[in-house]
């Protein structure tokens, strides 16, 4: 009886060990499902970057642009092209769990991995949690150089062009912005911002960049364009910061400005509009903003300084 009991116990332990090993293997496959060494040394170019709805533009005019170039070397190593250094730079490829990976200071979920193409879902992660918003629903599609050249017979430039769906969406948004230029509901940033050029020595204009690689995206430069303008021989000294709408004809209309006294707001608006009509409209060559080649009304910030 003792022998049988010991045998049963040993059999139970053996089955438990085998079961644990089996479960461990299954869990391992779930936790680390991708073998990047299978695509070692293949250069992949990003050709599409789109939101979950298939568009590369959002309702305020921000455009997702395909820019990345990748080359995986091992399961823990990837190279990413740096446009500043003009070369591929190596990064540690950290696998967290499931399909979640981190490299080049970004989090991704791997949706597809093959020698021809890769699809990554960019994730917005805060406090080790994936944010369930639009920033975590951006999909990046990469094609290998061989797949583009030998199979698709298309250049990277052809593949990265905005889609027909993008064009239709942009046309619709621009039509609304042009029909309601002063309504914040319909504001749509121009991918190619307003261009202001001096026509006289009495005025200087400079578009300056608000882009800070540590805190802001480069898209700030076209979503929130800012211009520094100085006017010589003005009717008096002044220094104003305000926002204006530039319509498809280059007409400037005051949109808003900082104010602390409601009873002087209308008078201040008249002063600012007068500066636009007398100085800016006459002394500047104004080219309206546009997106995908379509002229549009758009919002800009101006810092106007008058010298007497």
Confidence category of residue 305, pLDDT binned at 50, 70, 90: very high
Among the ranges 26-40, 48-62, 113-127, which has the highest mean pLDDT value? 48-62
Per-residue confidence (pLDDT) for residue 51, from 0 to 100: 94
- The residue-averaged pLDDT of 209-237 equals 84
pLDDT digits (tens, 9 = 90+) for 99-128: 889 999 899 999 999 999 999 999 877 655
pLDDT recorded at residue 69: 97
Weakest mean pLDDT among 26-40, 196-210, 236-250: 26-40
What are the distances in angstroms from CA 222 to CA 60, 144, 188, 300? 11, 31, 11, 9
Residue 132's pLDDT band (cuts 50, 70, 90): low
**What pLDDT does residue 211 have?**
65
32 Cβ partners below 8 Å, 6+ apart? Answer: 95
Task: Quote the pLDDT of residue 31.
Answer: 58
**CATH class, 36-161 region:** mainly beta
| Residue ranges of domains in the chain | 36-161, 182-306
Q: How far apart are CA 285 and CA 303, in angstroms?
A: 17
What is the arithmetic mean of pLDDT over 5-21?
42
């Amino acid at each position: 009886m003792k022998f049988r009991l010991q045998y049963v116990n040993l059999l139970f332990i053996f089955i438990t060990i085998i079961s644990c090993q089996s479960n461990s293997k299954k869990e391992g496959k779930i936790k680390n499902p991708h073998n990047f060494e299978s695509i070692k040394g293949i250069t992949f170019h990003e050709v599409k970057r789109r939101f979950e709805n298939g568009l590369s533009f959002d309702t305020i005019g921000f455009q997702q642009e395909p820019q990345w170039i990748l080359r995986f070397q091992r399961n823990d190593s990837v190279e990413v092209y740096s446009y500043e250094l003009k070369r591929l730079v190596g990064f540690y490829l950290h696998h967290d769990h499931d399909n979640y990976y981190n490299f080049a200071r970004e989090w991704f979920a791997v949706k597809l991995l093959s020698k021809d193409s890769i699809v990554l879902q960019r994730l917005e992660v805060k406090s080790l949690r994936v944010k369930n918003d639009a920033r975590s629903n951006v999909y990046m599609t990469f094609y290998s150089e061989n797949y583009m050249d030998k199979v698709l017979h298309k250049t990277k430039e052809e593949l990265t062009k905005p889609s027909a769906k993008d064009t239709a969406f942009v046309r619709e948004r621009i039509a609304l912005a042009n029909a309601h230029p002063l309504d914040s509901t319909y504001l749509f940033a121009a991918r190619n911002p307003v261009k202001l050029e001096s026509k006289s020595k009495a005025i200087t204009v400079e578009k300056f960049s608000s882009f800070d690689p540590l805190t802001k995206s480069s898209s700030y430069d076209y979503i929130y364009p800012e211009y520094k303008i100085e006017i010589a021989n003005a009717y008096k000294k002044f220094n104003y910061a305000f926002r204006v709408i530039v319509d498809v004809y280059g007409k400037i209309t005051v949109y808003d400005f900082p104010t602390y006294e409601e009873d002087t707001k209308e008078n201040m608006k008249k002063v600012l509009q007068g500066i636009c009509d007398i100085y800016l409209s006459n002394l500047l060559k104004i080219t309206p903003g546009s997106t995908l080649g379509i002229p549009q009304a758009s919002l800009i910030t101006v810092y106007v300084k008058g010298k007497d």
